[in-house]
Protein backbone atom coordinates (compact mmCIF):
# COMPACT_ATOMS: atom_id res chain seq x y z
CA UNK A 1 0.00 0.00 0.00
CA UNK A 2 1.70 3.18 -1.18
CA UNK A 3 1.04 6.27 0.89
CA UNK A 4 2.41 8.32 -2.03
CA UNK A 5 -0.60 7.81 -4.31
CA UNK A 6 -2.00 11.33 -5.03
CA UNK A 7 -5.57 10.41 -4.05
CA UNK A 8 -4.41 8.73 -0.86
CA UNK A 9 -2.29 11.79 0.00
CA UNK A 10 -5.30 14.07 -0.55
CA UNK A 11 -7.53 11.78 1.50
CA UNK A 12 -5.08 11.75 4.39
CA UNK A 13 -4.76 15.56 4.25
CA UNK A 14 -8.55 15.87 4.26
CA UNK A 15 -8.85 13.59 7.27
CA UNK A 16 -6.11 15.49 9.13
CA UNK A 17 -7.83 18.83 8.50
CA UNK A 18 -11.13 17.44 9.81
CA UNK A 19 -9.47 16.04 12.93
CA UNK A 20 -7.76 19.42 13.51
CA UNK A 21 -11.06 21.28 12.91
CA UNK A 22 -9.24 23.33 10.23
CA UNK A 23 -11.98 24.43 7.85
CA UNK A 24 -9.82 26.70 5.70
CA UNK A 25 -7.25 24.00 5.01
CA UNK A 26 -9.98 21.43 4.31
CA UNK A 27 -11.79 23.64 1.80
CA UNK A 28 -8.47 24.53 0.13
CA UNK A 29 -7.84 20.84 -0.65
CA UNK A 30 -10.68 20.82 -3.20
CA UNK A 31 -10.52 21.71 -6.88
CA UNK A 32 -12.53 24.79 -7.93
CA UNK A 33 -15.38 22.56 -9.12
CA UNK A 34 -14.89 19.91 -6.42
CA UNK A 35 -17.87 18.18 -4.86
CA UNK A 36 -18.71 16.59 -1.51
CA UNK A 37 -21.39 13.90 -1.37
CA UNK A 38 -21.60 12.77 2.26
CA UNK A 39 -23.59 10.61 2.21
CA UNK A 40 -24.20 9.98 -1.50
CA UNK A 41 -27.82 10.78 -2.40
CA UNK A 42 -30.51 12.68 -0.53
CA UNK A 43 -29.79 13.27 3.16
CA UNK A 44 -30.33 15.65 6.04
CA UNK A 45 -27.38 17.71 4.77
CA UNK A 46 -28.38 17.50 1.09
CA UNK A 47 -32.15 16.99 0.61
CA UNK A 48 -31.85 17.06 -3.21
CA UNK A 49 -28.97 14.59 -3.25
CA UNK A 50 -26.93 16.68 -5.69
CA UNK A 51 -23.88 17.16 -3.48
CA UNK A 52 -22.08 20.30 -2.39
CA UNK A 53 -20.11 21.72 -5.35
CA UNK A 54 -17.55 24.52 -5.19
CA UNK A 55 -15.77 26.20 -2.27
CA UNK A 56 -18.81 28.10 -0.97
CA UNK A 57 -21.03 25.01 -0.88
CA UNK A 58 -18.25 22.85 0.58
CA UNK A 59 -17.65 25.44 3.31
CA UNK A 60 -21.39 25.49 4.06
CA UNK A 61 -21.35 21.68 4.33
CA UNK A 62 -18.50 22.01 6.85
CA UNK A 63 -20.59 24.42 8.92
CA UNK A 64 -23.60 22.07 8.94
CA UNK A 65 -21.90 18.69 9.28
CA UNK A 66 -18.39 19.03 10.68
CA UNK A 67 -18.28 22.21 12.78
CA UNK A 68 -21.10 20.92 14.99
CA UNK A 69 -19.10 17.88 16.14
CA UNK A 70 -16.81 17.49 19.13
CA UNK A 71 -14.54 15.10 17.23
CA UNK A 72 -14.38 12.90 14.16
CA UNK A 73 -12.20 9.79 13.95
CA UNK A 74 -11.37 7.93 10.74
CA UNK A 75 -11.21 4.23 11.62
CA UNK A 76 -10.37 2.70 8.26
CA UNK A 77 -9.45 -0.95 7.91
CA UNK A 78 -7.97 -0.60 4.43
CA UNK A 79 -7.73 1.55 1.32
CA UNK A 80 -7.50 0.82 -2.39
CA UNK A 81 -5.89 3.31 -4.79
CA UNK A 82 -6.64 3.00 -8.50
CA UNK A 83 -6.24 5.56 -11.26
CA UNK A 84 -6.95 8.98 -9.76
CA UNK A 85 -9.02 7.66 -6.85
CA UNK A 86 -8.77 5.96 -3.50
CA UNK A 87 -11.48 4.09 -1.60
CA UNK A 88 -11.23 3.75 2.18
CA UNK A 89 -13.18 0.97 3.88
CA UNK A 90 -14.13 1.20 7.53
CA UNK A 91 -16.02 3.64 9.69
CA UNK A 92 -16.11 7.25 10.71
CA UNK A 93 -16.81 7.80 14.40
CA UNK A 94 -18.43 11.11 15.29
CA UNK A 95 -18.74 12.42 18.83
CA UNK A 96 -21.27 15.20 19.37
CA UNK A 97 -23.39 16.41 22.27
CA UNK A 98 -22.33 13.52 24.50
CA UNK A 99 -23.16 10.89 21.88
CA UNK A 100 -21.05 8.67 19.61
CA UNK A 101 -22.19 7.37 16.23
CA UNK A 102 -20.30 5.17 13.77
CA UNK A 103 -20.91 5.44 10.03
CA UNK A 104 -19.59 2.27 8.46
CA UNK A 105 -19.00 2.37 4.74
CA UNK A 106 -16.78 3.16 1.79
CA UNK A 107 -15.30 6.66 1.47
CA UNK A 108 -13.75 7.75 -1.83
CA UNK A 109 -11.55 10.62 -2.95
CA UNK A 110 -10.90 11.47 -6.61
CA UNK A 111 -8.17 13.98 -7.47
CA UNK A 112 -7.14 16.02 -10.49
CA UNK A 113 -3.61 16.19 -11.97
CA UNK A 114 -2.61 18.73 -9.29
CA UNK A 115 -3.76 16.49 -6.42
CA UNK A 116 -6.79 18.65 -5.66
CA UNK A 117 -9.93 16.77 -4.63
CA UNK A 118 -12.49 16.58 -7.45
CA UNK A 119 -14.90 14.41 -5.48
CA UNK A 120 -15.26 13.20 -1.92
CA UNK A 121 -18.01 10.60 -1.84
CA UNK A 122 -19.18 8.78 1.29
CA UNK A 123 -21.23 5.62 0.92
CA UNK A 124 -22.91 4.98 4.26
CA UNK A 125 -26.48 4.41 5.43
CA UNK A 126 -28.06 6.83 7.90
CA UNK A 127 -30.41 4.23 9.39
CA UNK A 128 -27.57 1.75 9.87
CA UNK A 129 -25.38 4.39 11.51
CA UNK A 130 -28.20 5.37 13.87
CA UNK A 131 -28.21 1.84 15.32
CA UNK A 132 -24.70 2.51 16.68
CA UNK A 133 -25.71 5.61 18.67
CA UNK A 134 -24.43 5.43 22.25
CA UNK A 135 -23.36 7.76 25.06
CA UNK A 136 -19.81 9.09 24.83
* Residue pLDDT, tens place only, 28-53: 999 999 999 999 999 999 999 999 99
Distance CA 101, CA 29 (A): 26
Closest alpha carbon to 119 in 107, 109, 105: 109
The whole-number pLDDT of residue 1 equals 53
Q: Is the pLDDT of residue 133 over 90?
A: yes
pTM of the predicted protein model: 0.94
Over residues 99-116, the pLDDT tens digits come to 999 999 999 999 999 999
Q: Is the pLDDT of residue 2 over 60?
A: no
Spatial CB neighbours of 114, under 8 Å, sequence gap ≥ 6: 31
Q: What's the mean pLDDT in 110-131?
A: 97
Q: Is the peptide bond before 39 cis (omega within 30 degrees of 0)?
A: yes
| Domain 6-135 grouped into CATH 3.40.50.170 | no
Amino acid sequence: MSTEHPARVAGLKSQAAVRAKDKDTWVSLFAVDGIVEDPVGPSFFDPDGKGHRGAEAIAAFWDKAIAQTDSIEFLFDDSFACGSEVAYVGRIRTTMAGQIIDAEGVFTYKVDNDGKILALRAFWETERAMTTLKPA
